[in-house]
Amino acid sequence: MIRVYSGIDLVSLDRLDRLQPEIRERFIRRALTVREIEDSGGLPNSILGKIAAKEAVSKALECGISAVGWQSIEILSRENGAPYLVLHAAANQAALEKGIFSWSISITHERTHAAAVAIALGGSLDTESPKG
């Protein structure tokens, strides 16, 4: 049976502005992979969109970001700008344990906020009805 997992997150775009510069840089390096930092072009809305997406993915995994770590969830962009997900280490293990085989990630930005949604499909493609 197929199971749908979902997560959503919303972040204020002034979140980074409220941090002292040295703390801001340390947070970005802790939260984003090198590829994500390059992919974001240093744009705050892109950085925070990726952070929202990571939080949404951790919620879909039903464990929260602290259980899997920031670096184990990677949000990158295709040539057309569409986000895609790469899981590593603990996040990949959590997805495997749930039988997750497909993800859809969506990120949006507006003047003051960035939001992201993560949808995952897991379980078995078995077409038999559950017994019971």
Q: Tell me the pLDDT tens digit for each residue of 48-85.
A: 999 999 999 999 999 999 999 999 999 999 999 999 99
Domain tally for the chain?
1
Contact partners, residue 8, CB within 8 Å, separation at least 6:
56, 59, 115, 116, 117, 118
pLDDT given at position 124: 79
- DSSP H/E element including 106: strand 102-109
Question: Residue 129: inside a domain, yes or no?
Answer: no
Cβ 126 vs Cβ 116: under 8 Å:
no
In a domain, residue 130? The reply is: no
pTM: 0.92
Q: CATH number for the domain including 29?
A: 3.90.470.20
Residue 95 and residue 119: Cα distance in Å, rounded? 12
Domain with 64, as residue range(s), is 2-123
Residue 86: its pLDDT value, please?
Answer: 98
132 in a structural domain: no
Indicate whether 27 pLDDT > 80.
Answer: yes
With respect to residue 21, please indicate whether it lies within any of the assigned structural domains: yes
Q: Encode pLDDT of 28-40 as tens digits.
A: 999 999 999 999 9
Q: Is a pLDDT exceeding 60 seen at residue 19?
A: yes
| Domain contains 90 | yes
Is 93 within a domain?
yes
Residue 128 located in a structural domain = no
